[in-house]
Structure 1
């Protein structure tokens, strides 16, 4: 099946053979992961869509693909409009669409290992209005026709030392056990891969750019645990690290283990565990408590060791970014730098750090109009030169053994237009508004999101993504539950109160379709703020990311005195943190890039 049209036709034939009138294809795996291993890239294999969030529905005569605002442009470039209709999330969901399009009395298939219980309930309700039925499949029909489907990774697990974790795995499991006792529960299912990695202080290589291993776990009220992972992935060092309190099983034994929990009270996260897990427990006669995975909040609130590691990783990463920005200034006037050459060079600079383990995601290296595609990924087909008179956007990050980084910088190639400088300055003003925000304890990210948008709204423009996401500690670059995002947006991921120790991105942007994109992204740490006379406990942000913000794109006349002070102070910190890591021409370039900007004279 050499073309995507052939694959779609083959899936329809397979559905017919399975007595199904449709099938739902999510972009996830059995762990509800955002980024998935190559073996689980069913949506990309079927449609050609390479974004990190989306889903599809295939019916006998029509098919639809569902993406949010980050991928509006990308989906149209990668997925055939002849075969697929484009649907925008959250305006239209798969269940909404099925309610209108499913065949009357039809049988719509789904893989219960790839959907949440809540989605199954909504889909059943939607289909009932058409007299249609939602049918679980024993084997995913895409897997039946995907003849060269990759195998799941066999990479070994590695130990994340207590030096970086800040707390032993035994301590973490004891705390989970104590929490379970308070809930009058016997065990908790951990199915999210980063939860398992955090709870057991292990890391893996089974998903590109996210250091996790394919596994399931049951943690019990006595602090012991059962870990389900392929035996070939366990080295003697890992076995010794896990100790006697962790019983090891093959990953495929997990479903059978659930069947043995009759009479037990089991906590399962309805957001992160698939429907099949709930169904297996209910069939077994277990009492299921639907509650959030007990690792989620402790994982999000970084301890002192994790914060120290993050700061060290950010300084190393900032030095690599600074050398890259200097290289851009030297090389782009020659006219032979393109998106792929630029991102490859940045990766090479990062890999000079022995602490680097991987990139934290595929770099978004967007020149000119490609920069307007929020989650763009350059390829040989789309690769563009960095041409004079355009903007270049580079969003990238590294997975270091002591921290995860994520940074975006926008660079003018040649002379920027007045409009570019206006839009960039508004994005910078929004960025500063978040960086300097002071707010009472209990504030949610949704309450701060409009701070970043106001300067853009005043010009009648906006951006179609959240302002900030949580970030893990040598784990997922997108980590919940904290977010800075409008309530109900596709990226909101809930509305969690911000707490001291949480790390988030601060990344407002602006995108002009067909012309350019702008984003300024730093990571920030939630910290306590001491205010004289305060009647409430107040919080704020400490910026963790240090690399120059391009001054050539700043219209200083638009900045308030306070905003200009922030920018100059930020650059002074960049020079102090990054300068000692550079020498020669790189250091001289940084000194010039961080030189204070004088306030415009007032006549």
Structure 2
């Protein structure tokens, strides 16, 4: 079997557990701490972190992208959201760590209920934002204890073979793809600082650093990021804190005259200099660590905790980024369609495992000649594994895709002109009536988002329920957001835009989001249908207000054998047929004859489908 290029399948959980928790408790006791908080975070609060910062996975075995462990002397909890409740229970040693669903208890509430009176709860100030710190501080106080920062992270003290910090090359991102010169972006940032009456901005989010300076790197898996910081003053030259060993000659030339470059070790002194000058410094509420705030304030400065203005700028894609995304989705759609045709041939014969499916899909993408990386570890779940929302197949959990089951594959790619994310659920053999009912309800919710028209100023929270209503009507739901923002050859999970109950940002033309309602029957199967959509202006004849809608970017067939056409309205059925006609038109010329014939059959109008 061909091994995947970008994804590994080892399971770290067997290497973690009681022994490492015991070692951490010994380190806590030596320092006089009653407990220690271990978030899934690095110094930049990133979703995907480099190996040296995978402290939560190393300690507990849990490999999800979000979670917080609280280790006390006699008990420990791992708090995870609805995406990871099943995964956490399977990966951690439950004899020493109790998985706790976030919907039931937050980490702070667990601390308040379990930290002993007079106890000292330790935390690493580089791994928590000011808001997160405040919540921890309140919880410790309510428990009758207190919060105290560590010097060296306690996990790092016991992690003997901890990997070194990454040093991947930093390269310039072509202006033809970026769509805007870095100098102009910096001018826009300075204009935003002037409006906010701030003297400087600390750029702590590597995504924002990459975007504003038109740079890309490879310090973390799946997202082309250079890890570093920047200080952008309202007046004067910016300073970029990057390891000089990572900066290629091409990147150095692109930065010449744009920003001064310093070693990251110089950041604390530069923050202190801002403080001594009495500067008012904007610190990103989402990614700015408590340690940064302290450096500024202890030197006499003021921190203005709020959104990094770059985040909002980055979210609204310009014409070049939109054109690049469309091109990336055509290329990716052809690769995914080749995979689906292959799956249709091989899976019914019992010749496909979850890992083999991941490897084959990555191979089809690699054959485009444009693949830079997958945009996240592929979720390849057959049967009951598909019910684990963010399931990650390992050699220990790999299973064969079997007839009579559903197979869910959620994957994405990084191309230099765009980032993709697509989920398809496929029936292997004949689906049951229940499977078709649930799939069609998910599809109805997907169509409701795809066809939504809404006034400017509408937030993702206001339309999230559109995707859920068909499930709600049957007493069903799903425990994740309906959509997340997506970057332009950057993070596949980008804020602030989202379609979710927590989506408070107004959607704007140029934003790219996912549309991915789902349904999960624990122990049986999972269903998710995901396309990426672009917010666009929508003219309504006779309308009185400026309106917006979505253009669907993703191009790949939806399994018609799972559609109970009698549950669709005429308009919904017409949407499916029109979407499939568009897929055929866009992809046919990119496919080999065998796949083209399969696509032709797979995208026939619903009216021609019997049963």
- Give 1:551-590 correspondences, 5 Å limit: 551-590=560-599
User: Does the alignment pair 1:202 with 2:211?
Assistant: no
User: Does the alignment pair 1:20 with 2:33?
Assistant: yes
Kept in 1: contact 2:114–2:143 (CA 8 A): no
Taking a change above 3 Å as real, the CA distance of residues 272 and 90 of structure 1, as seen in their structure-2 partners, is farther
User: Does the alignment pair 1:519 with 2:528?
Assistant: yes
Shift of 1:90: 4.1
Please point out which of 98, 119, 137 is paired with 2:111.
98
**Equivalent residue, structure 1, for 2:335:** 320
Moved more, 382-391 or 270-279: 270-279
- Give 1:258-297 correspondences, 5 Å limit: 258-261=271-274, 262=276, 263-297=278-312
Shift of 1:599: 7.4
Kept in 1: contact 2:16–2:58 (CA 8 A): no
Q: Secondary structure of the residue that 1:498 maps to in structure 2?
A: coil
User: Does the alignment pair 1:301 with 2:316?
Assistant: yes
Q: Once superposed, which parts of structure 1, at least 4 consecutive aligned residues long, lie more than 3 Å away?
A: 599-602
Kept in 2: contact 1:170–1:223 (CA 8 A): no
Paired with 1:514 and 1:360, the residues of 2 have a C-alpha distance of: 27
Q: Secondary structure of the residue that 2:309 maps to in structure 1?
A: coil
Please point out which of 176, 179, 183 is paired with 2:196.
183
- Give 1:449-468 correspondences, 5 Å limit: 449-468=464-483
Shift of 1:175: 1.1
Paired with 1:259 and 1:27, the residues of 2 have a C-alpha distance of: 28
Taking a change above 3 Å as real, the CA distance of residues 595 and 130 of structure 1, as seen in their structure-2 partners, is closer
Shift of 1:566: 0.2
Please point out which of 374, 387, 391 is paired with 1:376.
391
**Equivalent residue, structure 2, for 1:489:** none
**Equivalent residue, structure 2, for 1:501:** 510
**Equivalent residue, structure 1, for 2:8:** none
Shift of 1:600: 8.6
**Equivalent residue, structure 1, for 2:409:** 394
User: Does the alignment pair 1:84 with 2:97?
Assistant: yes
Q: Secondary structure of the residue that 2:391 maps to in structure 1?
A: coil
Q: Which runs of 5+ in 2 are unaligned?
A: 1-13
After superposition, the C-alpha distances for 1:467-517 in whole angstroms (9 at most, x for unaligned) are 00000000000000011011xxxxx3x510000100000000000000000
**Equivalent residue, structure 2, for 1:117:** 130
- Give 1:112-151 correspondences, 5 Å limit: 112-151=125-164
After superposition, the C-alpha distances for 1:525-567 in whole angstroms (9 at most, x for unaligned) are 0011101111111110000000000001001111110000000
**Equivalent residue, structure 1, for 2:261:** 248
Taking a change above 3 Å as real, the CA distance of residues 502 and 223 of structure 1, as seen in their structure-2 partners, is farther
Shift of 1:352: 1.2
Moved more, 173-182 or 21-30: 173-182
| Pairwise CA RMSD | 1.3
**Equivalent residue, structure 1, for 2:498:** 483
After superposition, the C-alpha distances for 1:560-579 in whole angstroms (9 at most, x for unaligned) are 10000000000000001111
Paired with 1:391 and 1:130, the residues of 2 have a C-alpha distance of: 47
Moved more, 593-602 or 15-24: 593-602
User: Does the alignment pair 1:9 with 2:22?
Assistant: yes
Shift of 1:415: 0.7
Paired with 1:330 and 1:600, the residues of 2 have a C-alpha distance of: 20
Shift of 1:583: 2.2
Please point out which of 469, 473, 495 is paired with 2:484.
469
Q: Secondary structure of the residue that 1:260 maps to in structure 2?
A: helix
After superposition, the C-alpha distances for 1:217-241 in whole angstroms (9 at most, x for unaligned) are 0011136210101110011111110
Paired with 1:222 and 1:166, the residues of 2 have a C-alpha distance of: 24
Paired with 1:381 and 1:245, the residues of 2 have a C-alpha distance of: 50
Paired with 2:285 and 2:375, the residues of 1 have a C-alpha distance of: 27
Paired with 2:187 and 2:135, the residues of 1 have a C-alpha distance of: 37
Paired with 1:285 and 1:308, the residues of 2 have a C-alpha distance of: 47
User: Does the alignment pair 1:406 with 2:421?
Assistant: yes
Shift of 1:130: 2.9
Please point out which of 48, 53, 61 is paired with 1:40.
53
Q: Using structure 1 for the length normalisation, give the TM-score.
A: 0.97
Paired with 2:359 and 2:289, the residues of 1 have a C-alpha distance of: 37
Moved more, 239-248 or 360-369: 239-248
**Equivalent residue, structure 1, for 2:224:** 211
Kept in 2: contact 1:175–1:223 (CA 8 A): no
Moved more, 329-338 or 196-205: 329-338
Paired with 2:354 and 2:305, the residues of 1 have a C-alpha distance of: 46
**Equivalent residue, structure 2, for 1:592:** 601
Shift of 1:186: 1.8
Paired with 2:537 and 2:93, the residues of 1 have a C-alpha distance of: 50
Moved more, 332-341 or 40-49: 332-341
User: Does the alignment pair 1:170 with 2:179?
Assistant: no
Kept in 2: contact 1:360–1:396 (CA 8 A): yes
Paired with 1:210 and 1:183, the residues of 2 have a C-alpha distance of: 30
Kept in 2: contact 1:528–1:540 (CA 8 A): yes
Shift of 1:333: 2.2
Shift of 1:126: 1.8
Please point out which of 117, 120, 134 is paired with 1:107.
120
Paired with 2:610 and 2:195, the residues of 1 have a C-alpha distance of: 64
Shift of 1:2: 5.1
Q: Secondary structure of the residue that 1:29 maps to in structure 2?
A: coil
Aligned length: 596
Q: Secondary structure of the residue that 1:378 maps to in structure 2?
A: coil
Shift of 1:185: 2.0
Q: Which runs of 5+ in 1 are unaligned?
A: 487-491
Paired with 1:125 and 1:2, the residues of 2 have a C-alpha distance of: 34
Taking a change above 3 Å as real, the CA distance of residues 74 and 332 of structure 1, as seen in their structure-2 partners, is same
**Equivalent residue, structure 1, for 2:362:** 347
Paired with 1:179 and 1:2, the residues of 2 have a C-alpha distance of: 48
Paired with 1:17 and 1:33, the residues of 2 have a C-alpha distance of: 30
